[in-house]
Amino acid sequence: MAFEGLSSRLQAITRKLGGKARITESDLKDVMREVKLALLEADVNYKIVKDFINTVQEKALGQDVLKSLTPGQQVIKIVRDEMVELLGGTLSKINFTPNPPTIIMLVGLQGSRKNNNSRKTCKSS
């Protein structure tokens, strides 16, 4: 829910940059504005958004597009890689207690389906 706006904006970015061989500063500025707005609408802290946008801009500006990617896909890849890094960058495993129950705290934005996901997980266990 919270990142649906980000997803649709990233798809629009891919379409907007389609067919270009290089990402210009103007293109990047427009793209980063869209990403910034989507993150702020998803209630991400302004300072985190600002740092995130600056990092993505540094990595994307003037970068040659990989042969297998379009410029839009290249920017999306950079945004994705930075989001993964921002969210921790590594896969974390749950340490189950030897004697149930294992207590797990679900944290997320309002409307991000925490209850639905916890019910699905409990039923499948």
pLDDT at residue 50, rounded to an integer = 93
CA angle 52–58–60, rounded 5-degree value: 100
Instruction: Pick left, alpha or beta for residue 88 (phi over 0 → left; psi -120 to 50 → alpha; otherwise beta).
Output: left
Q: pTM of the entire structure?
A: 0.60
Q: Give the count of alpha carbons within 13 A of 63, CB side only.
A: 19
- pLDDT in tens for each of the 125 residues of the chain? 556 666 777 777 777 776 676 667 787 788 888 888 888 887 888 999 999 998 888 887 756 555 556 777 777 788 888 888 887 888 778 888 999 888 888 777 777 777 777 776 665 55
pLDDT at residue 47, rounded to an integer = 93
pLDDT at residue 62, rounded to an integer = 59
pLDDT at residue 12, rounded to an integer = 75
- Contact in structure between 68 and 14 (CB atoms under 8 Å): no
- For the domain covering 4-86, report its CATH number: 1.20.120.140
CA angle 45–46–52, rounded 5-degree value: 90
pLDDT at residue 106, rounded to an integer = 79
pLDDT at residue 46, rounded to an integer = 92
For the chain, domain boundaries? 4-86
